[in-house]
Amino acid sequence: MLPNARTSWLFFPLWLGYILLVDALVSARQGNSLWSRSTRKFVLLFCFSAPVWWLFELINLRTANWEYLGRELFTPLQFNLLCTIAFSTVIPAVFETAELIQTFRWTHFCNSGPRVPATPRVFVVLFVAGVAMLVLLLACPKFFYPFTWTSLVLIFEPINHWIGRPHFLQKLRDGDWRIVLSLALGALICGFFWEMWNYYSFPKWVYHTPGTEFLRIFEMPLLGYGGFISFALELYALKNFFWPSGPQIDEQTHH
């Protein structure tokens, strides 16, 4: 652990380096990337990412599943500014990693998987389930806090369908699981690096997750890593709802 609060200034450059490295690998493997397809959208994705993660921080005010050690070393303005800068890397990191995964040929075998019926009734059921999860989460967070990572995707995926926005269920309807698989693996990879680099940092985050606080990998309980999978789908659904014309990780051309 570096002394004092030195690592508070390193989170953004560390993850910016990761994002640019992965973008370069994607470009080398397939001839284009999020950066090369639209530098403007690439930069704006950082701006979009920060308020999206603040939404989860807002939910955490109710669930109290994580807290930041060392925040007392900063004024509220300093801490929130540093957090906002750090949060800006979340979606770019996940999307870049997901796109890198899609450049591997083995993912092509996932474009003919089981077809998921995307009927009007299915979307209604998903939406109702998502709203119910959100209500339970806010009403009784001690028991239903895992719904933080599932409720939003179940709410926004049907909404995206109803208003004509991109949504991953339209891919699953055709048996194409590549977008879901790449997002899930991308978030798991990022999650591993988030937790590894956080473990020896200060300030740092720690978790309070009743019933799952065992078999930790770094600060994160093992079961908590499953949340990264649905978290990635939430990011995808939120991006498509609030910014449908933004970068799409399923628009690249494979070679």
Residue 113 is predicted with a pLDDT of 82
As a whole number of angstroms, the distance between CA 157 and CA 209 comes to 27
Give the pLDDT mean for 3-18. Answer: 83
Whether 35 contacts 28, CB under 8 Å: no
pLDDT tens for each residue of 96-135: 999 999 999 998 888 888 898 889 999 999 999 999 999 9
User: What does R_g of the chain's alpha carbons equal in angstroms?
Assistant: 18
Q: Which residue has the higher pLDDT, 26 or 112?
A: 26
User: Which pLDDT value is given to residue 255?
Assistant: 40
- Rounded CA gap, 218 and 193, in Å? 10
pLDDT value at residue 1: 44
Q: What is the mean pLDDT of residues 168-173?
A: 92
pLDDT at 3 exceeding the cut of 70: no
Whether residue 251 has pLDDT greater than 80: no
Calculate the average pLDDT of the chain. 93
| pLDDT confidence tier of residue 7, bands split at 50, 70 and 90 | confident
Whether the predicted pLDDT of 169 surpasses 60: yes
Find the DSSP H helices in the chain: 11-30, 34-37, 39-63, 76-87, 90-102, 120-139, 141-144, 151-162, 169-172, 178-199, 226-242
What is the average per-residue pLDDT within 157-164? 97
Task: Determine what percent of the chain is predicted with pLDDT higher than 90.
Answer: 84
The pLDDT tens digits of the residues spanning 35-94 come to 999 999 999 999 999 999 999 999 999 999 999 999 999 999 999 999 999 999 999 999
What's residue 213's pLDDT?
87
Using DSSP bridges, classify how beta strands 204-207 and 66-69 pair: parallel, antiparallel or unpaired. antiparallel
Q: How confident is the model at residue 5 (pLDDT cuts 50, 70, 90)?
A: low
- Mean of pLDDT values over 144-170: 96
d(CA 155, CA 91) in angstroms, rounded, equals: 19
Predicted confidence at residue 253, as pLDDT, reads 45
Sign of the dihedral defined by the CA atoms of residues 36, 54, 98, 112, in that order = negative
Q: How many residues does the chain have?
A: 255
C-alpha 203/C-alpha 86 separation (Å) is 12
Q: Is 62 helix (H, G, I), strand (E, B) or coil?
A: helix
pTM: 0.93
Residue 236: half-sphere exposure toward Cβ, Cα within 13 Å: 31
- For tokens 């397809």, what's the residue? 37
Angle, helices 90-102 vs 11-30, to 10°: value is 20
Work out the percent of the chain whose per-residue pLDDT is above 70: 96
